[in-house]
């Protein structure tokens, strides 16, 4: 029996190749996930073709490696895969545009994240969807597993507990901890907005910005944009109950639970504007939406009341807050979404593979705001080098050269800020990133060619009903 016959789902694609009409996108996705039974797996990185190899990799040879790490704990990074391995941790409480669906239902997203880490960054990522939900429980879990990992990526944890989890772990752990919904999103928004403003001829410190949704993503966007020179007096934020302002007693009386949101109430919207999304967008130059999936969350009439040359980032997944064509028809000059099937993808997949590649290659102890800005600078510059237009303000997420450039910028920033533990050069990190990404993609091709995993043609065939 061949490898192709014994791998999970191997016969399914042959049956699916019969053309009985197109499947819906959802049905195609479910069939593809079922064919592959997930998106990532663990494969050996050492030879195992001879029985005597086991004496090296397991007993008795493994004991020598253990004793060496006891003698010098830093040797763990040289004798294990820890230096290239990160944890993706989620409690499933804020999954994409799906909300609180729990850890098991969130696992396909975390597996997908691990896949992108590998094929876009050469990073080995372990998806861990956990059945605890209190801040203290999540913090304790991550602390307990930290010795096995070089870094931690927190994912899809609801606000406000995500802020407390991140702050506690960054304070207490000796390895980098990153919440991608906050820091990754803010990195890409900063890069995309820089280039979008250049296209329309406006300045960050002069534009009026409406933040639609003020959860983990837009809270981080607010802080990064303010640090980059955006004027809080020209910012209006809106949550599910309306515009934030100093009269929002529901936020003020929540105390520490909504401390970050109350800060926005105090520091923005000095005119005391009230109302909802329509009022928040009135006269705005920029709309940055990380809110409820659309397509009717942001009305075309609200976009029509924005300033001339309006920029609309409608980033909810899986459905943007407003259809891009509708936003354009209403007068927006530049429209971006979180999806790869529309122009101008503003999605953290542009950031995290390259940033983590640079973090690991520098042996960084933490991820600083300076490293985030350096990554955004590299991302924006890469897009400018290819030619920025209304429909091309950011590079593609799968561009190896861009990923390597982001990795190099991140690693060098870590070195400049004193958080790197390994010496790096910009060219050395860039070349190393290209090599690791190339190896990861070559390994996937080899597995597919050998029939161990499905081919692209088999997956494509599932788009037709059996």
Domain boundaries, the chain: 1-20+427-466, 82-170, 176-424
Q: pLDDT digit string (tens) for 175-195?
A: 999 999 999 999 999 999 999
What confidence score (pLDDT) does residue 196 get? 98
What confidence score (pLDDT) does residue 19 get? 53
Nearest to 406 by CA among 457, 463, 356, 334: 356
Q: Which whole number is the average pLDDT over 438-449?
A: 95
Cα dihedral angle (63, 69, 71, 73), rounded to 10 degrees? -160
**Cα 51 from chain centre:** 42
* Cα(1)–Cα(134) distance, integer angstroms: 49
Q: Which residues are catalytic?
A: 58, 113
Q: pLDDT digit string (tens) for 141-163?
A: 999 999 999 999 999 999 899 99
444, pLDDT greater than 60: yes
* Cα(92)–Cα(75) distance, integer angstroms: 35
Residues with Cβ within 8 Å of 147's Cβ and at least 6 positions away in sequence, in order, are: none
Which is the CATH superfamily of the domain at 176-424? Answer: NAD(P)-binding Rossmann-like Domain (3.40.50.720)
Range 254-257 contact pairs with CB under 8 angstroms and sequence separation of 24 or more: 257/160
Lowest mean pLDDT among 15-19, 329-333, 347-351, 368-372: 15-19
Q: pLDDT digit string (tens) for 26-43?
A: 999 999 999 999 999 999
3, pLDDT greater than 70: no
Q: Which whole number is the average pLDDT over 374-394?
A: 97
What confidence score (pLDDT) does residue 69 get? 97
* Cα(330)–Cα(324) distance, integer angstroms: 10
What confidence score (pLDDT) does residue 318 get? 86
Domain 82-170 has CATH 3.40.50.300: no
Q: pLDDT digit string (tens) for 44-96?
A: 999 999 999 999 999 999 999 999 999 999 999 999 999 999 999 999 999 97
Percent of residues, the chain, with pLDDT higher than 90: 90
DSSP-assigned letter for residue 75: G
* Cα(117)–Cα(384) distance, integer angstroms: 25
Answer whether 82-170 and 176-424 agree in fold: yes
């Amino acid at each position: 029996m061949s490898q192709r016959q014994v791998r999970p789902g191997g016969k399914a694609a042959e049956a699916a190749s019969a053309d009985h009409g197109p499947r819906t996108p959802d049905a195609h996705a479910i069939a593809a996930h079922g064919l592959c039974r997930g998106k990532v797996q663990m494969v050996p990185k050492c030879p195992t073709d001879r029985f005597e190899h086991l004496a090296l990799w397991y007993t008795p040879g493994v004991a020598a490696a253990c004793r060496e790490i006891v003698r010098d704990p830093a040797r763990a990074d040289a004798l294990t895969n820890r230096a290239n391995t990160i944890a993706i941790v989620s409690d499933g409480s804020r999954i994409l545009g799906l909300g609180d669906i729990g850890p098991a239902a969130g696992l396909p997203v975390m597996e997908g994240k691990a896949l992108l880490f590998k094929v876009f960054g050469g990073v080995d990522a372990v998806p861990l969807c956990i059945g605890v939900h209190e801040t203290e429980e999540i913090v304790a879990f991550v602390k307990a597993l930290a010795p096995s990992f070089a870094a931690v990526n927190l994912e899809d944890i609801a606000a406000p507990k995500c802020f407390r989890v991140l702050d506690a772990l960054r304070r207490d752990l000796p390895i980098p901890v990153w919440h991608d919904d906050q820091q990754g999103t803010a990195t890409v928004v900063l890069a995309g907005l820089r280039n979008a403003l250049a296209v329309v001829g406006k300045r960050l410190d002069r534009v009026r910005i409406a933040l639609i949704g003020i959860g983990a993503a837009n809270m981080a966007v607010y802080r990064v944009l303010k640090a980059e020179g955006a004027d809080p007096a020209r910012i209006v934020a809106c949550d599910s109950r309306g515009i934030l302002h100093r009269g929002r007693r529901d936020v003020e009386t929540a105390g520490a639970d909504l401390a970050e949101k109350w800060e926005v109430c105090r520091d923005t919207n000095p005119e005391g504007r009230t109302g909802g999304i329509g009022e928040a967008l009135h006269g705005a130059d920029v709309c940055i939406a990380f809110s409820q999936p659309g397509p009717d969350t942001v009305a075309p009439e609200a976009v029509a009341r924005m300033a001339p040359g309006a920029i609309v980032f409608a980033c909810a997944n899986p459905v943007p807050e407003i259809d891009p064509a509708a936003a354009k028809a209403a007068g927006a000059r530049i429209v971006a979404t979180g999806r790869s099937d529309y122009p101008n993808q503003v999605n953290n997949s542009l950031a995290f593979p390259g940033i983590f590649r640079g973090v690991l290659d520098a042996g960084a102890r933490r991820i600083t705001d300076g490293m985030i800005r350096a990554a955004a600078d590299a991302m924006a510059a890469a897009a400018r080098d290819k030619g920025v237009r209304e429909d091309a303000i950011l590079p593609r997420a799968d561009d190896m050269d861009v990923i390597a450039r982001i990795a190099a910028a991140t690693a060098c920033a870590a070195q400049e800020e004193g958080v790197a533990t390994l010496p790096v050069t910009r060219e050395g990190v860039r070349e190393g990133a290209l090599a690791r990404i190339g190896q990861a993609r070559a390994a996937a091709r080899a597995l597919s060619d050998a029939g161990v995993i499905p081919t692209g043609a088999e997956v494509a065939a599932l788009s037709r009903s059996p």
